[in-house]
Structure 1
Amino acid sequence: MSNKSKIEFVSNYKKVISVDILHDFFNDGFIKYIDIKPTTDSLTKMKNYGLIFRKKNAGFVILSENDKRVKGSVFNGSIVLVFKLLFLDKYFLNYTDIEFQNYNLLVFENNYSDLLHKNNTVDFSCIRSSDEKLSSKIFLNIDEKFGFFGKTKLETHGSVEYKINFCSRKISLRYNLILNTNNINSYYISDDDETFRLDEFKSRTLSSGKNVYSLVFNQKVQCKELYDFRFFLKKDDSFFKSFLLPIAHPDVKNISHDSINNMFYADIFVNID
């Protein structure tokens, strides 16, 4: 009985708009740790038009009643629906390739075919200054071509698919060795096959006052949820030739912005005390 009721309910509605929010930082390509809410005014408009807002994984859909269309001159023309996009991950800016500024508003609009932004990925063209912490608004301008009001029949239309494409940052890996000896010359970083060798460590004092030996990998890497490389700390030692210490991958919590050089460093700490 419950399955039948569910089928009947679904068949009474048609998906008219779908919005997917993509982010290439994540392994599956879809953004995580967000919330999406229609404004109060937009909820009222959708109710008047027989529309229903539903969240989905990394986006939302708008459904329309198949058997009920709003008619009359009072509803002719177009409407604008506004949705608030909230970023719940406090490290979002660390791995997302947009301006590193906490007080910005990202604006997305359906003026660009299937994308809700001007260029292929979210960039400076989407940014507006704001007095509030980083947030976003999605504006959907909808008229009779969408098929759920005006003179166009709903049945002749498929759903309209929109996307928002976020890109991850390119980061510089900065390795920091913590050790109680000055004998740093025998240590180096490489991969399993020794296709490269990093050994030019320099003394550096952290903001905490702790002294470490640091070096920066000379190739920037795309920030990812999961990485496909593995580096090791190795040692030139005639007595202990098997010294091999796996090094952790970058953690978004340890990505920082160097405003002087306009670079993003992912600090990776290796304690060999």
Structure 2
Amino acid sequence: MCRWAAYRGEPLYLEDLVTSPAHSLIEQSHCATRAKTATNGDGFGIAWYGDHPEPGRYRDILPAWSDCNLRSIARQIRSPLFLAHVRAATGGGTRRDNCHPFVHGRWSFMHNGQIGDFEQLRRPMEAMLDNDLYAARTGTTDSELLFLLALQFGLEHDPLGAMAETLAFVERLSEHLELQTLVRFTAAFSDGRDLYAVRYASDWRAPTLYAAPMGPSGGYCLVSEPLNDDDNAWVEIPDGTAVIVGENGVDVRLFGTGGRDASPQTQHAVSNNRAFSRKM
């Protein structure tokens, strides 16, 4: 499983998430505490937004802890919205094209999770892409393919709806081919304006997701695991939930594919959206 962190708010230096905290993303790359594997050394990447609509991006196959360029870049770059990821490969070789975040136009995307029997699903999933999106696929991961399918299904116009349709398509395809129906999906994605995150799993075992305020005023951080030991500062986002961080703060919504109902805990959390957002 991978580890990631994302931020939207007043501009911060990337080091405020990537290198400086006691349990920074670099620290998590070799000592994760809330994942099946403590080491996430199969590459890393960052995507950030600045003066142009499309994000800048830096990725490499080195472990994050051993790349001195990453520390230097993180210390110098300030951004109001950025995504950072360290990879523990569950499929696809250790190569730069398989490192997150993935970008297409103004969109960026990173993912922690897996698709059951992906190698048997890969070809029919790829067949759903139009020619332009198929040509944009440069790696071999399920994560990149999920991102491209979401673009195919309307990410530009309805981000959460497109993501739900993408995951529902994968679940239906698995059932049709009589394969293991397993989607575990905790992801962050952005168009440079809003930051979206989704925590969902068809078996109710989605990878973790936490949120906390960050920055001088109105900023929020979304992470796979907290960046420090202040448990009161971090709220765990329930399985079956989507989070949108925008100009007006945080919006928390139920998220599903139609294949399962939200748990009572998730329904309660989202029904108390205002209190939930204030706590964050």
Same fold by TM-score greater than 0.5:
no
TM-score (norm 2): 0.21
Higher helix share: 2
Higher strand proportion (structure 1 or 2): 1
Higher CA-based Rg = 1
